[in-house]
Amino acid sequence: MKILLLCKKFPYPLKDGEAIAVNQLSKSLTENGCEVTLLAMNTSRHHYKSKSNLLPKELSHFKEIHSVDVDNKITTWGALKNLFSAESYHISRFVSDEFSKKLIEILSNNQFDIIQLETLYLAPYLKIIKDNSDATVVMRAHNIEHEIWHRISNQIKFIPKKIYLSYLAKKLKRFEIEKLNEYDFLVAITERDLEMFKSLGYKNGCLATPVGFDLKEYQPEYSAFNKDLNLSFIGSLDWMPNIEGLRWFLNETWPVLHNRFPNLKFHFAGRNAPKDLANIQMPGVTFYDSVSDSKEFMLGHQILIVPIFAGSGIRVKILEAMALGRVVITSSIGLEGIPAKHLEQVILANTVEDYIQIIQMCYDGKINLLRLGQSARNFVLNNFDSSKLAVKLLNAYQKVIDSPSHI
């Protein structure tokens, strides 16, 4: 099966959920006999520049890799101008003439069975694809995009910003619904998201399949559980749900925790952090501007916190940490799409009081952190094996290709 993947950012380095999701699936598809070609935007916000002319070995499974520079910076003028436009500002920043030209060139020179769009932000190119290819068009929806921004706007306290983000979320929702039935097949990351898309009017072929992992790449190491208790966080700090969740934890929760548990430490890392986070000066808190190996960072701490209150889809970083045998404390929204159980494979905390209670239980020995970390690892082994998930997806694709009426 010949597959073309379209991505809104270059999927390297493997430090964020989207890059990991693209890499793991494409690698598993290749291992199952597919030829996978990549066409990615190399955006100004997440620009990848190789230190040599060689592409990283982690992407060697692709048959071909094409990238196009795209300027998608958020500007004050662009944001203001969009107030008087029916277009979604979220989407319009990913519309590129150069990307369109490259896409047409690739479609003119190749025949594909599947063209897979990685996220809604590639939907503006549907017409070009259908005008230049007979391939089955698949949307792999990493999130319900408008839902993220509705949730974010609901959390914002500054009224002008709240109103503006709500306005952008409504336009994004309109675009997301308008495009729904232009896809031949929809791959949702969770069953919950799939049901949501159906409720919004989606009627064609579909499948829910989560992000998978090659567990050979995630080797647990449990020596951190013999050290003093500490918390950690790692994630992209140019993604608003991460920023707002981390600010809540630092401003509302950490002062209380530090006062009650003065020996507790918090280590957090993330690229492109806002100044208030990058320059933070709080007792017991250490910030790392960048880490060379995110897995090594997670292995250095017993507990990863994911205090997220806006989002959709699935939080890849939670699954990565669980695969490494770490204990994860997250919110109900953070756990959406991950069928793990509180105090069995993961810990739920939605309030300051929840965190106090949980940390007290850890110090009192009422939570066996090592056993919980081992249980988390087994949970990912049993539910998120990338090879098994790729086979399931390929079988669905083959049915669509063999029987177009199936959709």
- Say what the pLDDT of residue 250 is: 97
- The residue range of the domain holding 109 is 2-212+385-406
- Say what the pLDDT of residue 44 is: 85
- Say what the pLDDT of residue 292 is: 85
Q: What is the DSSP string of 15-37?
A: -SHHHHHHHHHHHHHHHTT-EEE
As a dihedral over the C-alpha atoms of residue 232, residue 235, residue 238, residue 239, rounded to 10 degrees, the angle is -110
Query: 139 with 244, same domain?
Result: no
Q: Give me the CATH number covering residue 342.
A: 3.40.50.2000
DSSP annotation of 251: I
- Say what the pLDDT of residue 405 is: 57
Query: 30 with 109, same domain?
Result: yes
- Say what the pLDDT of residue 263 is: 96
- Say what the pLDDT of residue 125 is: 98
Query: 63 with 125, same domain?
Result: yes
Query: 60 with 101, same domain?
Result: yes
Query: 402 with 316, same domain?
Result: no
Query: 230 with 151, same domain?
Result: no
- Say what the pLDDT of residue 186 is: 97
Q: How far is CA 219 from CA 222, 323, 344, in A?
A: 10, 8, 20
Query: 255 with 231, same domain?
Result: yes
CA distance 241 to 318: 14
Query: 49 with 67, same domain?
Result: yes
- Say what the pLDDT of residue 219 is: 93
- Say what the pLDDT of residue 78 is: 83
Sheet order of strands, 265-269 included: 285-288, 265-269, 230-234, 303-306, 327-330, 347-348
- Name the packing angle between helices 316-323 and 369-383 (round to 10°): 110
What is the reported pTM? 0.83
10-residue mean pLDDT series, the chain (407 residues): 96 86 93 96 86 81 95 84 86 96 98 97 97 97 89 85 91 96 95 94 94 90 94 91 94 97 96 92 93 92 94 85 97 92 97 97 95 97 91 94 65
With the C-alpha atoms ordered 400, 35, 208, 391, is the resulting torsion angle positive or negative?
positive
Query: Rounded to 5 degrees, what are φ and ψ at 351?
Result: -135, 165
- Say what the pLDDT of residue 407 is: 43
CA distance 346 to 323: 12
Query: 258 with 308, same domain?
Result: yes
Number of domains in the chain: 2
- Say what the pLDDT of residue 80 is: 80
Query: 11 with 30, same domain?
Result: yes
Query: 9 with 155, same domain?
Result: yes
Query: 334 with 397, same domain?
Result: no
- Which helix (DSSP H) or strand (DSSP E) does residue 115 occupy? strand 114-118
Give the pair of three-digit tokens for residue 208: 């829910």
